Amino acid sequence: MKFLEHPPRFLFFTGKGGVGKTSVACATAIELAENGRRVLLVSTDPASNIGQVFGLTIGNTVTPIDAISGLWTLEIDPEQAADAYRERIIAPVRGLLPDRELASIVEGLSGSCTTEVASFDEFTNLLTDDSLLETYDHIVFDTAPTGHTIRLLQLPGSWTEFLDAGKGDPSCLGPLSGLEKHKAVYAAAVAALADPDRTRLVLVARAQASALAEIDRTFGELHQIGIPGGYVVINGVLPDKAGIEPIATAVRNREAAALNHLPASLAALPTDILELKAGNMMGVGALRTLFRAGTDGDTPPQSMVEVPDAPLGRFVDELEQTGHGLVLCMGKGGVGKTTIAAALAVALAERGHPVHLTTTDPAAHLVDTLHGSLPGLRVSRIDPVEAIAEYRDNVMATKGKNLDDDGRAALAEDLLSPCTDEVAVFRQFSKAVHESRHEFVVVDTAPTGHTLLLLDATGSYHREISRQMGDSMSFVTPLMRLQDPALTKVLLVTLAETTPVLEAEGLQQDLERAGIHPWGWVVNNSIAAAHPETPFLQARAANEATQIAEVFARADRVAIVPLLAEEPVGVDKLAALTALASQPA
């Protein structure tokens, strides 16, 4: 492995959920330890399963891996860290502020920025503690801090003064107010990250356009703030032993196309490609095979996996009963939200209903394919870049006009947060929400429950609408419509893999905090539902069974969409998705 040549003290692994960061980090730690190095493996991933991988209970204490001499592990629980962090900020004002204002503060500290800042506060010690540096030759991190968090730590001036002076209404600077270490400590941690002699960044992806785009964005962010270099690991590439059945051939073609269009910045970096293995990367024996092609041996014949009968068409049958409504397709990037949203929109339009499909998908090929090609179906695309730029410009021109240079720098950085992006795009979504009273509106990529609660807790939409309509008139806000199960149906789209399912569970909890209960789940691109023929793919299908059972345990209703030999682009192929019946094997 190129990224293991002359490794520095710190190795950070980053990438989208579900690409195999944890497996690559664990295999790296084993490789280093078996070469005589003393290694600490640390996870800050909310969906971490290091304990599962090694068959141990680890938690927030350094735990030795008995099977590997010289290897210890530590799991920083991001949610536990964030809970303690929030309490430090909220405790002094509890009982002093009105409930409404306290709710606003609590929700402002409930987003991903708070979790990441709290985690960074925890592992700063690992970057700067001299005693730890004397104990371990290498510290391997599963999940690196984003460029956004690091830039926040580099801001001039004082975050606390900025907040106390009431200079902004920030989503990420608020979490920073709970940091207790001196800025010099954070400066030392950032310096360690920026020193290639001490730190190596490893960008992990699958051979998929969305996963590659994610690490390209991360690399650009980190490079911009002085963290140079990087190594690329393309994980899970389908091996020759998967055979030449149509599904295998199609997957290889998609992977080749993604790698042939690798962003120029990534193409210039040292790259390693890892084969997909037949089994899950669980246990030391399996992890030892990850970096070695063909080491998992021949796959024995598998019995066919039984897949529950859960066709997507049943969702359409139920959705159309009301004659109109809002359908929100939500989930992490790369799970196929756009495809599912388009398939549902096509099916409803073909049944004679007026449908508006709106998407924030940067790859607008579905919009191009569908536009004007089906009676009753109107397609629009919200450009996130334009929406976010317009929103940031407006905030800087209003809230930022009376700030000093440090204040404007702080506000500008806060406006780069993921929460700001969602708020900006939600302003566009709210128009579509209103339309759903008279037609079907299918939305690809919806705001999270945290964003909705943040808007509601501050009362921004309520106050704005009250001013427009007058106190004596009743009104309905977009959030109130989203909370109405008769009008709004939220679908969580996932893959039958551990991390995507865990992330969808987290999204469901987030929405339920906002009073929105998901209507159903869609398991997309299921190998098991495609009934593969070769032993290798049958073994992969067997690995899906546990995750599909997890989904059924958590969802009110489930649809399973098989992995297809041809990508479902175009009206006919999208219509076929809702006509497929996933019959039991």
Q: Is 499 a catalytic residue?
A: yes
Q: Is 23 a catalytic residue?
A: yes
**CB of 528 closer than 8 Å to CB of 545:** yes
**CB of 443 closer than 8 Å to CB of 341:** yes
Active-site annotation holder among 16, 17, 21, 28: 21
Active-site annotation holder among 15, 17, 20, 400: 20
Cα angle: 423, vertex 429, 434; to 5 degrees: 130
Active-site annotation holder among 14, 22, 110, 578: 22
**CB of 245 closer than 8 Å to CB of 296:** no
CA–CA gap between residue 395 and residue 63 (Å, rounded)? 47
CA–CA gap between residue 572 and residue 49 (Å, rounded)? 40
**CB of 73 closer than 8 Å to CB of 50:** yes
Active-site annotation holder among 23, 218, 498, 578: 23
Helix, strand, coil abundance in the chain, percent, nearest 5: 50, 15, 35
Which residues are bridge partners to 273 per DSSP? 234
Token pair belonging to 129: 């503690």
Going from the C-alpha of 218 to that of each of 43, 148, 204, 225, 413, the distances in angstroms are 18, 9, 11, 11, 16
Q: Is 317 a catalytic residue?
A: no
Phi, psi of 533 (to 5 degrees): -100, -35
How far from each other are the two terminal CA atoms of the chain, in whole angstroms?
Answer: 40
Active-site annotation holder among 16, 28, 45, 143: 45
Q: Is 167 a catalytic residue?
A: no
**CB of 84 closer than 8 Å to CB of 149:** no
Q: Which of 462-477 are b and which e, b meaning 16 or more Cβ less than 10 Å from the residue's Cβ? A: eeeeeeeeeeeeeeeb
Q: Is 18 a catalytic residue?
A: yes
**CB of 195 closer than 8 Å to CB of 228:** no
Q: Is 572 a catalytic residue?
A: no
Active-site annotation holder among 18, 178, 400, 520: 18
Q: Is 226 a catalytic residue?
A: no
**CB of 199 closer than 8 Å to CB of 14:** no
Token pair belonging to 2: 């190129």
Residue type, 330: M
Catalytically active residues, by annotation: 18, 20-23, 45, 499
